[in-house]
Homo-oligomer: A and B are copies of this chain.
């Protein structure tokens, strides 16, 4: 009688209950599913590494939810609806069952909240830090995926939610700044994917803000061959972020997972009404300009702000 190594028992115990249609109970080499009729598929993958994308001591259920939510945020940026996901989990050999139980519980919570299920994945050991990846699948009406390259000169620059909480939340989670009500750390640990906000016909271009507002706005400008001018004072900050008072960090820090959107002036009224129906605060922060790929941030005195860094980089 052959026995199964522990990874198979763990997959059966913790992940099989999360499996949805097509996952074949996670018992086969791959998942098989029929794409939704008449829809295009949208797919993205992200990696998360302990000590880089999350703190080694972060609760496994929050790590799982952040992994799923950062990928859902990519679907939100494209105007897509969630369908399913695959995840690979590489952890030290001594990782206890409780870690897997908590990780799976986090996925279960967000599967219920966002309406998707696991299709497959892999579970391996690593001699290094916990290393995760997640591939997310979504769907969108043909031709209605929102891209980064559709912004035009004169379109307004809008963002969802508040900017900078994620970067400040990292400092709070590290105990480097005060966070009396825990709001900032919560925003770092549990981003809110803005699904349903970006919709074709209302939005010219969109992306999610993951590496810092200024850097990401630069990416959108390069893709659209336009420039951008934003008013620092108009960038929405939470009350908690205002209390910290580090505007430059808010403008350049990562981990917001809010949407950055290009809205044609003629669509602003309809877009704001749509955002209201979704219950998402949206704020105009500037305008796209002719100055190709140049992002200008105007400070309180009307002069261009000089920001120390353009945003997060893995390799500088």
Contact = CB atoms under 8 A, between A and B. Distances in A.
Given A88-B47, A129-B126, A314 B7 contact: yes
Given A77-B29, A127-B129, A135-B45, A218 B145 contact: no
Interface in A141-166: 142, 145, 147-149
Nearest to A130: B128
Interface stretch (A32-40, A173-181, A278-286): A32-40
Contact of A93 (B31, B32, B145, B315): B315
Interface stretch (A49-57, A108-116, A268-276): A49-57
A43 B313 contact: no
Interface stretch (A58-66, A117-125, A182-190, A237-245): A117-125
B316 A44 contact: no
Given A148-B27, A149-B27, A122 B5 contact: no
A88 B127 contact: no
A314 B93 contact: yes
A131 B316 CA distance: 19
Q: How many chain copies does the complex carry?
A: 2
B5 A312 contact: yes
A49 B2 contact: no
A22 B283 CA distance: 31
A43 B27 contact: no
A142 to B, nearest CB: 7
A182 B6 CA distance: 34
B120 A315 contact: no
A138 interface: yes
Contacts of A119: 43
A67 to B, nearest CB: 11
A45 B86 contact: yes
A74 B122 CA distance: 12
A120 B1 CA distance: 42
Given A32-B140, A47-B124, A93-B315, A215 B2 contact: yes
Contacts of A86: 43-45, 135
Contacts of A6: 313-316
Interface string A1-34: 1111111101000000000000010011111111
The 5 closest A-B pairs by CB, nearest first: A128-B128, A5-B313, A2-B218, A30-B44, A133-B133
15 contacts: A2-B214, A2-B294, A5-B316, A6-B313, A30-B44, A32-B145, A35-B41, A43-B135, A44-B86, A45-B122, A47-B131, A48-B124, A49-B126, A52-B90, A131-B131
